[in-house]
Structure 1
Amino acid sequence: MHVHVNAATSVDGKLSSRRREQVMISGDDDFERVDRIRAASDAVLVGVGTVLADDPHLTLDAEELVAERAENGDSAHPARVVADSRARTPTDARILDDAATTYLLISEDAPEARRRELEAAGATLVVAGAERVSFPAAFEALEDVGVERLMVEGGGEVIFSLFDDDLVDELTLYVGSMVIGGRDAPTLADGDGFVSDFPRLSLRDVERVDDGVLLTYDC
């Protein structure tokens, strides 16, 4: 599986403010670029924190991209994947509508009652890991159902875990011309952080987009 992490941060590396509310960091040109990456993917992954904070739909915006997928024999929208160890996704979340298949990655510790509620709401559950989602095991399961290209849209805890498990193949990072600040504001890679064996990336391209810079790395 090819794992492509895409994110937008402020110049000081923040994904959003300390309130963890959605902040508009990039502009229209970058939104179109992100939509194209989604369209080329089999599935799009976010963490449950993103679902709880933003209630994203994770579907394509451009009708021409939907049409292109249909012409290629693909579903209208890529599948949606949520890393949700304790099955906290609300049953009325937008990602559980019938616009696309939605996989919830949960742990063995996820409450049985919540599992039943989420399945009834339309989710397909993937159990991987004892107390927390094991991404290597979960990704194997996703590959088994045909996910060959996975786009990851955050948040910082998920992105850190994927780097920690050495699962990231490509990173595109839009750096917007703004400062957010705050020691409690989420960053590109939260979690425990690295103290040695820091992941090293290879810079492939630099491009000006909107009023920011798009950095592309091989990982």
Structure 2
Amino acid sequence: MHVVVNAAMSADGKLSSRRREQLAISGEADFERVDRLRAESDAVAVGVGTVLADDPHLTVKDDDLRKRRRNDGRPGNPARIVVDSSGRTPTDAAVLDDAATTYVCLSEAAPVDRRAALADRAELITAGDDRVDLLRAFATLREAGLERIMVEGGGELIFSLFDAGLVDELRVFVGPKVIGGRDAPTLADGDGFVAAFPTLELAAVDRLDAGVLLTWRVEDR
């Protein structure tokens, strides 16, 4: 399995403002790049916080890219993955429509009624007691044939994936905004590392829109 984390952040490392509302940090060229990356992936993953804040669809926007996937014998859109320990994903969330298969990763702590509601709209994967055990969940996803995973956020999920040693590559568009705010989400939130920090190897630097795209590979995996 190859896991690529993709994100757009401000010049000061924020994903959005303290209100956690979606902001346009990048431009059209980066939007097209993200769409191509989705089209190359077997699945696109987000945390439930991103679902609740942004209600993303996580589908390929370009008709030609979807057609190319179908010509290759694949579905028009990659599968979608929501990491949601307690089953908070709304049943009317865009990510649960019929545009693609959706996997919802739950913990044992998810209430039975939430499981029942989500089971009608998604494939459920249970791993972990109080929080999703990402190693076990991603092993199950791999068994389902999902080899190339694109992760689109948010900061809690990204930190947890680094903590679990599951990230292979990090692609970050750094845009020309300063957002600020101690409560604004960053690229990797969660508890943070105090030792054994993940280290990255810079693979590419590309000017894009009014910012820069940084491509990093994870060392010592």
* TM-score calculated relative to the size of structure 1: 0.99
Per-residue deviation, 1:196: 1.1
| Structure 1 residue 33, shift from structure 2 partner | 0.3
Aligned counterparts, 1:156-195, within 5 A: 156-195=155-194
Structure 1 regions of 5+ residues with no counterpart? none
Aligned length: 218
Which deviations, in whole Å up to 9, do the C-alpha atoms of 1:159-191 show, x marking residues without a partner? 000111111000100000110000000000000
Partner Cα separation in structure 1 for residue 49 and residue 39 of structure 2:
23
Question: What pairs with 1:131-150 in structure 2 (closer than 5 Å)?
Answer: 131-150=130-149
Give how far 1:119 is off.
Answer: 1.2
Instruction: Report the aligned-residue RMSD.
Output: 0.4
SS in 1 for 2:104: strand
> Once the two structures are aligned, what percentage of the paired residues are identical?
64
1:118-129 equivalent positions in 2, closer than 5 A: 118-120=118-120, 122-129=121-128
Kindly provide the amino acid, as one letter, of the partner of residue 13 in structure 1: G
- Report Cα offsets for 1:134-166 as digits up to 9, x if no partner: 110000000011000000000000000011111
Q: Deviations over 1:73-132 (max 9, x none)?
A: 000100000000000000000011100000000001100010001112x11100011100
1:97 matched to which residue of 2? 97
Runs of 4+, deviation exceeding 2 Å: none
Please give the alpha-carbon distance, in whole angstroms, between the structure 2 residues aligned to 1:151 and 1:81: 10
Pairing 1:56–2:56 present: yes
1:54 counterpart letter in structure 2? D
SS of the aligned residue for 1:6 comes to strand
Indicate the residue corresponding to 2:38 in structure 1.
Answer: 38
Q: Which amino acid aligns with 1:32?
A: E
SS at match of 2:73: coil
SS at 2:206 equivalent: strand
Distance (Å, rounded) in 2 between the aligned partners of 1:100 and 1:124: 11
Alignment partners' CA distance in 1, 2:108 and 2:11:
39
Deviation at 1:19, TM superposition (A): 0.3
Aligned-pair CA distance for 1:44: 0.3
The residue identity in structure 1 corresponding to 2:181 is G
